[in-house]
Structure 1
């Protein structure tokens, strides 16, 4: 199998076809790795050639020479990873992280900021983050005009961006979205009692966000934790429910949390019927690991039903970058440990995310002619604990580590987490353990040892 492009290299490529003694010279060849490209149905041992910032060709034993050659034997070669849930509005919001330092350096070439900016604060995200980062930065626009400019995490943080309805300006949100469709790919709303005037505004937050999504024909991402909005509807209840009233293509984030509003029935341990029906209707489920929203216990219950996330996003922010999230490859590791097939894990950080945000034509694959965003990963044998968001741990025997990354044909340095697991972060995160509805029978070890 060989795919070849001609937009930049047509003369050179045609010459190689007519004269077998002339070898095609490209900028870079990544050789001998296991290439997994779900968009194109590729799972082979082969080579990826990059020239003039785009994918030149992909195939087995490519007859090309690279000015740079990278040996990927024993590694995975994938489209540049896409993290569908990050908070990167650094310095302007409490949650913001640097996308190049914390995402690109871990193999992630594209991130989607999940509502850090609203209509009144978006311009700063565009000018100071998206336009200055080497990482490709896209975003959901928050239905609240100020976004997350003064909001912490929803779990236990009193006060938030949707305490006052006059900040939920449908027209302003719609207008800014329409004027910036090159970066804004959808709408974001957070449904939690503590950030919506003790839940009084939640129904209206939900309604207005979905209204903008429908008007602009873009997905609405809904954060649904510790919420007064039911996860499972009941007969005759005319209130909006989540995810029951989400539209096909909308994105339900924080899928595996164990707090009130979990997708698990705490009495039976089954996934709630409205959640199953929502998936059948085309609602997408995104992991949204975060500082509070990934429970090993819930994830294992879902794994038994093969209820895997359509999108694997980290919800990486300032409160979790040194644990429990660390980076996207380590979050991918958790899904692999749970039994999610490797091919599906790769799809959930490439083509699935690209399609979900309406960018399947130019992101998420190694198609010839596409910008050369390429990630090299390795499944390494290890023996260590990995923590969830409340310091529950599982012993992991292998993990996915980033080895190399190219963004638009340019290679960037890979960095490593300082400490995994991070005991100090675990002590802090374990404080939320008593608030879980779904959890292990025994408390985390960091609580037992106190």
Structure 2
């Protein structure tokens, strides 16, 4: 009987790419996926009992900020992602074409976590820009920082790591909105030239969500291309995808999805509203990709980690297998990496996550401290990256009352929100 390095036995194996949903085993040998099946007749030098757990491909977080120390938002991907079951992260624009080499040398090459990225259309990325540095203004206040040729060249020279282009569309970071249309145009131009997706952050923006008929301005997501990624899908500020008058999803948003624009959660410190998400859930408008927008301002609440954001979608009614798809193969396909990550296909690097759906009775907060009572959540149990097992950590405090008291200050600015203020605001 053959002996492999590891066998993870007896869990519910969910691998959406290969249409696997069985109670079975996963074998790892020489850092690669050796085999997947029911009752594998092989032995392992080490065996892990996964009974009562989910065995999935290594989780992919499609939206993080991990340029630690070089940007104020940067977190450590090994400490905050790999230790929570996430084997691949996609940094969403922390670096631009002038700062990308440091992301590769000091983060990607030194991390156990696989680090990919969207390259910011602005030269310096988020090194010091508006919300990321606490100063007024933003990275796109000056158009001379948005050079299409330079951005294109860096993408082309770093295809192994750069998977797309990032644009932040908000009034306060684009010279009071004067540059927003040009930011959008230039990012999309690079996307077309390089044939990679553009990820658009679109909050508190002068670019309309629902198309105008009186002028020829670009709209978002209407004018995004098939395969592009609209992040912060469930935010409740101006530029939300919900019509505040009717509570319906805007028609142009529905049409964008029909033509192939992808929608990503991008929870973040300000961009996930229980109220908006529930309105979308009623219409089964689920995200294609579940990304956290994890950064230094939300790692201790309200985001915590990817399993906690997955929990929120499960609570809203998103089917379990769809949740797993949105953190594995959907993300891999969106960034053009389905041949390398996002599945348990034989011969791939053995990135494997074991999760337990635990019964709980706990409040989980959104980005403005509105809460919902949640009765089960995803808890990471074990993780393997390239066949090596890594330790699991847990959040120190959920919900984090200090974070809730800080984040609730933005509740009055929401255009869609619960009828009653969050309890933490009433207590102040």
> 1:311 and 2:289 equivalent?
yes
Q: Which residue of structure 2 lines up, in the alignment, with residue 111 of structure 1?
A: 89
Asked whether the equivalents of residues 143 and 170 of structure 1 are also in contact (C-alpha less than 8 Å), the reply is yes
Please say which structure displays the higher CA radius of gyration.
1
Q: 2:236 aligns with which of 250, 258, 261?
A: 258
Asked whether the equivalents of residues 356 and 378 of structure 2 are also in contact (C-alpha less than 8 Å), the reply is yes
How far does the alpha carbon of each residue in 1:195-239 deviate from its partner, in whole angstroms, 9 at most, with x for none? Answer: 001100000000000000000000000000000000000224200
> 1:145 and 2:123 equivalent?
yes
Distance 1:152 1:28, change over 3 A: farther
Count of aligned residue pairs for this structure pair: 428
Whole-angstrom CA distance in 2 between matches of 1:152 and 1:236: 31
Q: Which residue of structure 2 lines up, in the alignment, with residue 210 of structure 1?
A: 188
Q: Which residue of structure 2 lines up, in the alignment, with residue 163 of structure 1?
A: 141
Whole-angstrom CA distance in 1 between matches of 2:146 and 2:135: 20
Asked whether the equivalents of residues 130 and 172 of structure 2 are also in contact (C-alpha less than 8 Å), the reply is no
Q: 1:69 aligns with which of 25, 44, 47?
A: 47
Whole-angstrom CA distance in 1 between matches of 2:237 and 2:408: 13
Q: 1:243 aligns with which of 211, 215, 221?
A: 221
How far does the alpha carbon of each residue in 1:72-124 deviate from its partner, in whole angstroms, 9 at most, with x for none? Answer: 00000000000000000000000000000000000000000000000000000
How far does the alpha carbon of each residue in 1:382-414 deviate from its partner, in whole angstroms, 9 at most, with x for none? Answer: 011000000000000111000000000000000
Q: Which residue of structure 1 lines up, in the alignment, with residue 102 of structure 2?
A: 124
Q: Which residue of structure 1 lines up, in the alignment, with residue 333 of structure 2?
A: 355
Asked whether the equivalents of residues 35 and 77 of structure 1 are also in contact (C-alpha less than 8 Å), the reply is yes
Whole-angstrom CA distance in 1 between matches of 2:290 and 2:136: 28
Q: Which residue of structure 1 lines up, in the alignment, with residue 174 of structure 2?
A: 196
Structure 1, unmatched stretches of 5+, are 1-22
Kindly report which structure 2 residues correspond to 1:271-420, keeping only aligned pairs within 5 A, or say none: 271-420=249-398
Structure 2, unmatched stretches of 5+, are none
Pairwise CA RMSD of aligned residues? 1.0
> 1:133 and 2:111 equivalent?
yes
Whole-angstrom CA distance in 2 between matches of 1:121 and 1:283: 28
Q: Displacement of 1:151 after TM fit? A: 1.8
Kindly report which structure 2 residues correspond to 1:3-82, keeping only aligned pairs within 5 A, or say none: 23-82=1-60
**TM-score of the aligned structures, taking structure 2 as reference length:** 0.99
Asked whether the equivalents of residues 71 and 132 of structure 2 are also in contact (C-alpha less than 8 Å), the reply is no
Whole-angstrom CA distance in 2 between matches of 1:67 and 1:371: 18
Q: Which residue of structure 2 lines up, in the alignment, with residue 178 of structure 1?
A: 156
